[in-house]
Amino acid sequence: MSKTVIPFGPQHPVLPEPLHLKLVMEDEVIVEAIPAIGYVHRGLEKLTEVKEFTQNVFIVERICGICSMMHAMAYCQGVETLMNLQVPDRAKYLRVIWAELHRLHSHLLWLGLLADAFGFESLFMQVWRNREKVMDIMEETAGGRVIISVNAIGGTRRDMSPEALRKVAVIVDEIKEDMIQLEKVFMADYTVKHRLVGVGVLDPAIAYELGAVGPMARASGIKQDFRTTGYSAYGELDFEPVVETDGDSYARTMVRLREVYQSVDLIKQAIGKIPDGEISVPVKGMPNGEVISRVEQPRGEVLYYLKANGTKNLDRLRIRTPTFANIPTLLKMLPGSQLADVPILILTIDPCISCTER
């Protein structure tokens, strides 16, 4: 049987990220997938070496808009460790609230894009209507809808009033109620199940071997969530990693849908427990030494390596993003799949190519 090579991306009607794959086909079946990356390389890691360490907070936020808050959070936590800064408790809770709002934003965006990918336009619109409520919260509490710039070395730049916190709790409850109604569609609709169940099965042993992170790993039964280590205020909150065991596209959808509810619960817990007090501490001196800072982003664990030398500039900032960790699992899932399932499989790793290539 003759083989055909089909280029997929970097621009494609159902692909929101500029990922380029060369698909080797036999009829409609994929036998090999070869990635080609580098379309959005911006040299941000190099840029952080020439800017002052305090300015880098704004640079790392622009690695990715959807998880910008958590990029800054990971960077700030790394510098705070190097400088032995004790972040106020209130700032830790505020970081958790904004981080979980970003997780809500990311997962709702993804659920809508998934529905759009297999042609369920009304489901796409209903999910994004709820996402819009999250964007409005972030605009009201931080001044921005996507990149909110609330993190600072030593704490946060902004606070939330009691009235704002109560309003956030009410709105996330509304989002949860709406998503419970839409959950019936994601779980039981024939169209959704036909496109997702049994598609792109990732065996737990392979997921572990390839270093899958985030919902990709948890959908294959790997109980791995870096928030359980208790960084920031997560150690004061009650939650368990969301895990599914089937390892297919449907399981990955269910993990993200259930994590929407989990984020709502974490936000409400944080609002109920947030203490009074300062939101930042003075930053004196310069960072010195090496540190690894890790944070659980919506797509999985991000790893920041910082090397400082006691001056205002870093020697090195190296970032390992979750999409970079999950691309090998995508290349493992594609062979044997149908061409029509490629957009779905790419979306189920929730790719962020701007994160990966920086």
Question: Where are the alpha helices (H) located in the chain, listed in sequence order?
Answer: 44-50, 56-61, 68-82, 89-117, 121-142, 162-188, 190-196, 204-209, 215-218, 249-273, 322-333, 342-348, 353-357
What are 35's two structure tokens? 């990635």
Q: CA-CA distance, 125 to 141, in Å (whole number)?
A: 25
Single-letter residue type at 88 = P
Q: State the Rg of the chain over Cα.
A: 20
The answer to the question of whether 67 is labelled as a binding residue is yes
Q: CA-CA distance, 156 to 232, in Å (whole number)?
A: 12
Largest CA distance in the chain: 70
Single-letter residue type at 34 = I
- Alpha-carbon distances of 18 from 30, 40, 103, 357, rounded to whole Å: 20, 8, 22, 11
Query: Kind of pairing, strands 288-297 and 314-320?
Result: unpaired
What are 147's two structure tokens? 């990149």
The answer to the question of whether 76 is labelled as a binding residue is no
Burial of residue 223 (CB within 10 Å: 0-12, 13-18, 19+) is exposed
Question: Where are the alpha helices (H) located in 16-151, listed in sequence order?
Answer: 44-50, 56-61, 68-82, 89-117, 121-142
The answer to the question of whether 319 is labelled as a binding residue is yes
Beta-ladder partners of 338: 29
- Beta sheet of 20-26, edge-to-edge order: 4-8, 20-26, 29-36
Question: How crowded is residue 276: how many other Cβ atoms within 10 Å of its Cβ?
Answer: 7
The answer to the question of whether 45 is labelled as a binding residue is yes
Kindly report the backbone phi and psi dihedral angles of residue 100, in degrees, each rounded to the nearest multiple of 5, phi listed first.
-70, -30
Summarize the annotated binding site as residue ranges. 45, 64, 67, 319, 352, 355
Summarize the annotated binding site for Ni(2+) as residue ranges. 64, 67, 352
Summarize the annotated binding site for Mg(2+) as residue ranges. 45, 319
Summarize the annotated binding site for Fe cation as residue ranges. 67, 355
